[in-house]
């Protein structure tokens, strides 16, 4: 990790249990933007938005009834309907390799979410050819993960959420503003269950590509630091604040 900054966290519900009626415990690194920043990931007709980083998940243990998972998430704000939704892509799940794309409702934030995974057969997000796939097995070395969401894919995601969750999200991708990103580990732990789940991540970045003519550019991991910096400058995307929090 020389030359890079990283973050590590472990959720351990024996020492920090969730309190009823809450049944989730998580740790996350989050990057946020204000409304004034007006970050528009799909501002162009050929926009492709990407998120990538290196990750390790060296430890996970759950008692019966609990489960743990690790995922990337983007909080997107629809400036037309003035509502949020979460776009999540899962790296790891103790129940087995993630292999589904679905929508649901998050009672904690009172908003819809869409979840996908890192795989070769997804419809709504695209795994980078250099990215590892989702798994249900822990590992201790560094794995590179990156996903891409095109202009048409974000429109399909909004339409799917509207159909399944009864929302009225815009299907025009240019109407979406990015407010927050997270990389987080989370444990579902109903009363009487427990678990621990550790993760570390570094070199977390985002970029938008447009006007390239032949689809998304996918630099190899070794060239990411330079490429991401250049592309983020081109697209006008900049990190405003960084914080690590547990909720």
Mean pLDDT, range 96-117, rounded to an integer: 95
On the question of pLDDT at 229 being above 90, the answer is no
Delineate the domains of the chain, giving CATH numbers in brackets.
Answer: 6-246 (2.60.120)
Instruction: Please name the residues in contact with 197: beta carbons below 8 A apart, sequence gap of 6 or more.
Output: 10, 11, 57, 59, 60, 61, 68, 70, 94, 185, 186, 187
Strands (DSSP E) found in the chain: 6-12, 24-32, 48-62, 67-78, 83-93, 102-106, 111-117, 126-127, 139-150, 176-188, 195-209, 241-246
pTM over 0.75? The answer is: yes
On the question of pLDDT at 86 being above 50, the answer is yes
On the question of pLDDT at 179 being above 90, the answer is yes
Mean pLDDT, range 143-150, rounded to an integer: 97
Average pLDDT, the chain: 86
């Amino acid at each position: 990790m020389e030359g890079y900054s990283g973050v590590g966290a472990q959720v351990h519900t024996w020492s920090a249990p969730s309190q009823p009626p809450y049944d989730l415990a998580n740790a996350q690194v989050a990057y946020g933007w204000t409304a004034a920043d007006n970050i528009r990931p799909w501002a162009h007709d050929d926009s492709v938005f990407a998120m990538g980083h290196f990750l390790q998940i060296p430890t996970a243990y759950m008692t019966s009834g609990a489960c743990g998972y690790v995922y990337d998430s983007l909080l997107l704000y629809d400036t037309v309907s003035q509502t949020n939704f979460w776009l999540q892509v899962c790296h790891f799940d103790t129940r087995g390799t993630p292999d589904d794309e679905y929508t649901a409702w998050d009672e904690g934030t009172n908003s819809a979410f869409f979840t996908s995974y890192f795989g070769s057969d997804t419809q709504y997000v695209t795994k980078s050819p250099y990215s590892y796939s989702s798994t249900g097995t822990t590992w201790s070395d560094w794995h590179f993960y990156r996903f891409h969401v095109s202009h048409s894919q974000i429109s399909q995601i909004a339409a799917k959420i509207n159909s399944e969750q009864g929302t009225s999200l815009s299907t025009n991708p240019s109407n979406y503003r990015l407010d927050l990103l997270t990389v987080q580990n989370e444990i579902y732990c109903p009363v009487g269950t427990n678990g621990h789940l550790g993760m570390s991540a570094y070199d977390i970045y985002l970029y938008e590509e447009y006007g390239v003519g032949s689809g998304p550019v996918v630099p190899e991991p070794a060239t990411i630091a330079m490429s991401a910096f250049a592309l983020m400058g081109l697209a006008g995307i900049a990190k405003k604040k960084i914080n690590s929090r547990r909720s």
